[in-house]
Amino acid sequence: MSLAERVSRAWYRDSAWLLPLRPLGALTARVARRRLGQLRKGPEAAPVPVLVVGNITVGGTGKTPLVIALCQGAASRGLKVVVISRGYGARPPSLPWTVEAGQSANEAGDEPLLISHATDAIVIIDPRRPRALEAALTHRPDLVISDDGLQHYPLGRSAEIAVVDARRGLGNGRCIPAGPLREPASRLDHVDWVVVNGEGPFRHAGAVPMQLDAPWLENAATGQRVLLEAFAERYPQVHALAGIGDPERFFGLLRRSGFAVTAHPFPDHHAFVADDLALPGEAPLIMTEKDLVKCRDFVTPRCWVLPVTATLPPGFIDQVLARLVPTRLKDANT
């Protein structure tokens, strides 16, 4: 187990050895509160609505499937969306950079490339979010969605969604390095919507539930699709590979679907190579969509991907769009 994995496990178990770090966590919380106060004084609003989708914890919570669902929902209502992202780990030739389907994950970043593959939205990456927004505005969008960026306060925003994993929640409730929070838990009281992903003990007043559904597996080399239950009956023993913020969420989904899983967790945004897929035996290898975009050049018919779809309460996407683009939404529906 890596140091990062040990620290993450300690955060969610509130291990005693974190006690000396609490003063630093309290300092992080004070700085975050001060920065939030500055956000409320500015910056100037963009000429089009900007929706930030992010989280207040370190690690994955399921925000990218939500961004994809919002993009698809907006497009189905006749709206033009541009997504902006930091592009973690990307090495584009220049910035800001427009992501296209044929690019590599090294060039575009794994999450931006996944969003580009899954939606019709234009995707622009730049660690400097305001500069990414400027590039987005040249496309004359109806709506800009920032994938992550809740803590990037120089980016003006019209509304915010914070995504929380129901199983892990907010860990020990402390800010880094004493806990997993980027900002104090009270930050959730200041966003427009809190979306809670999956089943688990975490609760928040007025939260919107979200489930990630995965009805089938798709062969990474051939595109063949097989219903998940049928695949589990035929191949009960599988290898599962995940380089995401919370690999256990992926492994748990497969186990609940009837698989006996040999788990192979990797760090978030791991840069996969062919040897990572050279696993012993003949059992199928199942990976996430986010990992597939980094493995397309060397997948084999043994490799399968589990596409997930965010399922939200009826009317939620309409509620978000009605608040952000009411006039444009009305025009699109007439």
Domain that holds residue 299: 215-307
Residues 36 and 167 in one domain: yes
The dihedral of CA 324, 198, 116, 120: what is its sign?
Answer: negative
Q: State residue 331's pLDDT score.
A: 62
Three-state secondary structure string covering 165-212 = ECCCCCCCCCECCCCCECCCHHHHHHCCEEEEECCCCCCCCCCEEEEE
Q: Are 306 and 254 in contact (CB under 8 A)?
A: yes
* pLDDT tens by residue, 146-200: 999 999 988 999 999 999 999 999 999 999 999 999 999 999 999 999 999 999 9
Residues 234 and 195 in one domain: no
Residues 184 and 256 in one domain: no
* pLDDT tens by residue, 145-154: 999 999 998 8
How many angstroms separate the CA atoms of 17 and 127, rounded? 34
Higher pLDDT, 284 or 328: 284
Residues 109 and 252 in one domain: no
Residue 214's pLDDT band (boundaries 50, 70, 90)?
very high
pTM recorded for the entire structure: 0.94
Quote the mean pLDDT of the chain: 93
Residues 148 and 43 in one domain: yes
Higher pLDDT, 46 or 48: 48
Residues 31 and 175 in one domain: yes
Domain count, the chain: 2
Q: State residue 50's pLDDT score.
A: 96
Residue 42's pLDDT band (boundaries 50, 70, 90)?
low
Higher pLDDT, 246 or 136: 136
